[in-house]
Structure 1
């Protein structure tokens, strides 16, 4: 199995309840960064067992899967034991023995289509076999220049005029749609601040940036997936998640 196949097999255990498969895929020292769960392989297997015993079956629908070095990153829709659909980005790190050694994620409730009629998961599925390092460079620079606000005058250089497909639940397509959304937030006194970027993972013409900051003054984790064409950003998906207060954490590994 490839690492991508292993990551997909692991999340599928939430639907099958196959604890033996989960144990086979996980490293002994598995590190969990989802703050709602304990760390270690035993805690993960316990979650698989719990879901298998629930009255309503858990569903898992993977939308996109990517691989970058020792990490696999997935975009998936989960419905854990009938609790409602959630859109997620998962990142899995593999050790030298091919075991899943570490996990990070961001989840948000699945919402209705945005002002341009796009959902959190639709859009282009095809991945182009281009230089991932060029994709990573473009996205890394965009995140720094624009999202972290280091060189905001460079905004238009990352786009082909107003041609930009947006999957954020509250923002319409194009730079014009982004401008309208930012203006609306400013009128409400809401600031979306990116302070630090922890990962920029890339595969072909897609890259996922993982950042932290604040939204309306609340500590927030930002996962932003971008599709690049001809050195321009042409499509964007994201999941924002409020970072839980430390006294509620089920592990002490931190969100990042």
Structure 2
């Protein structure tokens, strides 16, 4: 199995309840960064057992799957034990023995289409076989210059005019849609601040940036997936998640 196939097999155990498969795929010292769960292989297997015993079956629908070095990153719709559909990004790190050794994620409730009619998961599904380092360079530049605000004057240089497909739940297509949304937030006194970026993972013409910051003054984890076309940002999906209060954490590995 490839690492991508292993990652997909692991998330499938939430639906199948196959604890043997989960145990086989995970490293014994598995590190969990989802703060609602304990760390270690046994804790993951315990979660699979719990979901298998629930009266409503868990569903897992992977939408996109990517691989970059020792990491696989996925975009998936989960419905854990009938609690409601959630859109998620998962990142899995593999050790030298091919076991899944570490996991990060961001989840948000699945919502209605945005002002341009796009959902959180639709859009382009075809990954182009282009140099991922070119993609990574564009996204790293955009995240630093624009999202972290290091060179905001460069904003328009990252786009082909107003051609920009947006999957954020509250923002319309184009730079015009982004500008209108930010203006509306500013009028409400709400700031979206990116302070630090931990990963920019790339595969073909897609790259996922994982950042920490605040939204409306609340500690927030930002996962932004971009599709790059001809050196410009062409499409964007994201999941924002409030970082839980440390008193509620089920592990002490931190969100990042």
Q: Which residue of 2 aligns with 1:37?
A: 37
1:147 aligns to 2:147 (yes or no) = yes
| Cα offsets for 1:200-235 (capped at 9, x unmatched) | 000000000000000000000000000000000000
Q: Which residue of 2 aligns with 1:53?
A: 53
4+ residue runs over 3 A deviation? none
Q: Which residue of 2 aligns with 1:106?
A: 106
Shift of 1:192: 0.1
Shift of 1:112: 0.3
Counterpart CA distance in 1 for 2:151 and 2:85 is: 37
Q: Which residue of 2 aligns with 1:252?
A: 252
Q: Which residue of 2 aligns with 1:221?
A: 221
Q: Which residue of 2 aligns with 1:135?
A: 135
| Cα offsets for 1:149-190 (capped at 9, x unmatched) | 000000000000000000000000000000100000000000
Instruction: State the SS of the aligned residue for 1:234.
Output: strand
Counterpart CA distance in 2 for 1:121 and 1:77 is: 8
Counterpart CA distance in 2 for 1:116 and 1:18 is: 40
| Residue-pair matches, total | 256
Q: Which residue of 2 aligns with 1:75?
A: 75
Q: Output the aligned Cα RMSD.
A: 0.2
Counterpart CA distance in 2 for 1:146 and 1:222 is: 14
**TM superposition score normalised by structure 2:** 1.00
Q: Which residue of 1 aligns with 2:212?
A: 212
Shift of 1:92: 0.1
Counterpart CA distance in 1 for 2:26 and 2:113 is: 36
Instruction: State the SS of the aligned residue for 1:72.
Output: strand
Q: Which residue of 1 aligns with 2:192?
A: 192
Counterpart CA distance in 2 for 1:171 and 1:120 is: 11
What stretches of structure 1 of length at least 5 have no aligned partner?
Answer: none
Shift of 1:197: 0.1
Counterpart CA distance in 2 for 1:254 and 1:161 is: 39
Counterpart CA distance in 2 for 1:61 and 1:5 is: 14
Q: Which residue of 2 aligns with 1:166?
A: 166
Q: Which residue of 2 aligns with 1:65?
A: 65
| Cα offsets for 1:97-136 (capped at 9, x unmatched) | 0000000000000000000000000000000000000100
Counterpart CA distance in 2 for 1:182 and 1:218 is: 17
